[in-house]
Amino acid sequence: MPVQALTVDELAAQFESYKKQQSVKFDQLSTENANLKAQNKNLKHQIKNTQQQVATNTAAVEVVSENYEEVGKTNEWFNSTTLGDYGELHYQNRSVEGDSDKEEVDFHRFVLFFGHEFADNLRFFSELELEHALSGNGQKGAVELEQAYLEYDFNSNSSAKAGLFLMPVGIMNETHEPTTFYGVERNEVETFIIPTTWWEAGVTANYHFSNGLSFDLGISSGLDMKNDFYTRGGRKGVAKQKANDPIFIGRVKYTGLPGLELAATVLHQTDMAQSNNTSNTNAVDIGSGTLYEMHTIYSYAMGPGTFIGKALYSRWKFDINDPGQQAAADQYGWYLEPSYRLPTSIGDVGVFGRYQELDYYRVTNKHYNIWEAGANWWIHENVVLKANYTYKEDTLNNNKDESGVDLGIGYQF
């Protein structure tokens, strides 16, 4: 069909209509663009807030992580460290022929244990003791560091310790917590002959076989004896102690049979008075000294309870040149102790008897025969009540015998 040509006015009208349409679209696009810019600005603000929150959360996580690591380290330290204690309170009512009666109460010992395991084969152990409740000028007590040593295991059979340690001799010197022995006071043979509790500074090595046989060898600081030739007084507690002449240590022990312990120890010191030390001004006429000690412990189930027998013999041999002091050259003691421990519904109850013969020197010679009998009641495996009667015969002095009753409580953890 033929096309009719548009006039100029019609073309102008169509152009104006087109311009209006484009203007409307442009306005719509402008509005949309403005909206998009606003949305984009909001998105950027949200992204910025999100980034800040992420940074804050990251910092918080790092703080928590650091705190967790510190707590972990603290827990690791805590889990590898041990704390313990033992203590004993004593009451004595004794009478001595020709003298006034002795009646007193004494918190004899309060002892703290601290230990730490650095690794499976390396550990530290220490023992700090307060004796007789008070220490200081004019007081009867003392604060003592009895142990502080490192122990290292070379393998499952051999180990060594270095530092301040209890001497490996006797039954009670290394194991003397109140729940582990009968009687309120420690036996006098190990107290005056060995002399318990005895600690020195040095190094020892131990090797034990799978059959129950073990050996200890070591070297430590030595005693410093005075002209009273009192062995117990020769202990100096490693407090700026003279150390010219050491003690050589040797012990053999056998525990290969159930319930049996056999042990023998030899300690030797070449100069008991440390007389070659230039700081020692005491002229003590004593040379070498050797301590011999042997003991046995035997436990046997008998009826509903357990029989335990203990026997110990210990002797010092000193080289004393003074003819007037030869009684001090040979000091010894021994004891026998049978006991029976019975479990009951209110805790274990045990009874014991003990005989001791004791010969030692302190200015003059002293010799005693001692009979004891008593009972322990473990109201808990780590808490004990004790009572005993003691008769102490002074064989060198007439009418100086001692007798009486002791009561005590003890604990450990």
Q: Assign 235 a pLDDT band (cuts: 50, 70, 90).
A: very high
The residues that bridge with 370 in the sheet, in sequence order, are: 356, 392
Nearest to 285 by CA among 244, 247, 328, 237: 328
pLDDT digits (tens, 9 = 90+) for 284-340: 789 999 999 999 999 999 999 999 999 999 999 999 988 888 999 999 999 999 999
Phi, psi of 386, rounded to the nearest 5 degrees: -130, 150
Beta bridge partners of 313: 294, 334
The structure tokens 């009874």 sit at 351
Domain boundary at 61, 79, 97, which? 79
pLDDT of residue 11: 74
Which of 79, 106, 132 is the last residue in one of the domains? 79
Task: Give tens-digit pLDDT for 243-276.
Answer: 999 999 999 999 999 999 999 999 999 999 998 7
- Are 201 and 271 members of one domain? yes
* Cα–Cα distance list, 272 to 229, 281, 290, 353, 399 (Å): 9, 14, 9, 35, 34
CA distance 135 to 138: 8
DSSP 262-329: EEEEEEEES-TT-TT-TT------EEEEEEEEEEEEEEEEETTEEEEEEEEEEEEEEEE--GGGGGGG
Structure tokens at 262: 């056999």
The H or E element spanning position 44 is helix 8-79
Cβ density class 47-80: b for 16+ within 10 Å, e for less? eeeeeeeeeeeeeeeeeeeeeeeeeeeeeeeeee
Q: What is the pLDDT of residue 198?
A: 98
Based on the fold, state whether residues 100 and 216 are members of the same structural domain. yes
CB-based contact 198:172 (threshold 8 Å)? no
For the segment 97-154, what is each residue's pLDDT rounded down to a tens digit?
988 888 999 999 999 999 999 999 999 999 999 999 999 888 999 999 999 999 999 9
CATH for 357: 2.40.160.10
Q: Please say which residue of 79, 114, 137 terminates a domain.
A: 79
pLDDT 10s digits, 367-385? 999 999 999 999 999 999 9
Q: How far does CA 2 lie from the centroid of its chain?
A: 122
Q: How many domains does the chain have?
A: 2
Q: Give the range of the structural domain holding residue 344, as residue numbers without chain letter.
A: 82-412
Q: What is the mean pLDDT of residues 33-58?
A: 78
